[in-house]
Amino acid sequence: MEIKVDEQLKGILEEIKGFDYSVDQWAEIESDDMFQTQSYCGGFDGDAKSFYFRYFTKAGDQFWFDFRLEDITSLLSGAIPVLNLAPD
């Protein structure tokens, strides 16, 4: 299953980009719920060196997805228009 990069997620991506942290800096402050919206909750995992998020559907189902710091520009520009979801 896939999810389009929507406005809520773009807002999170812009916020992450605004920190201008390196992967090592993100690893120092890792958190699984640093970023939260109505449909998303997640943060950085230092061991995996990736951002992990849960996506909540309107029906109450939960899925998860991940992306790397270096993917943010491509996600925001539309070069990566969708993310793969996995069941939670």
Q: How many domains does the chain have?
A: 1
pLDDT of residue 11: 98
Distance separating alpha carbons of residues 72 and 40, to the nearest angstrom: 16
CB atoms within 10 A of CB 26: 21
In this model, does residue 88 exceed pLDDT 80? no
Assigned domain for 81 exists: no
Assigned domain for 51 exists: yes
Assigned domain for 72 exists: yes
CA-derived radius of gyration, the chain: 12
Q: Summarize pLDDT for 26-66 with one digit per residue, the tens.
A: 999 999 999 999 999 999 999 999 999 999 999 999 999 99
Domain residues for the domain of 14 are 2-76
Assigned domain for 85 exists: no
Task: At 74, give phi and psi (nearest 5°).
Answer: -70, -35
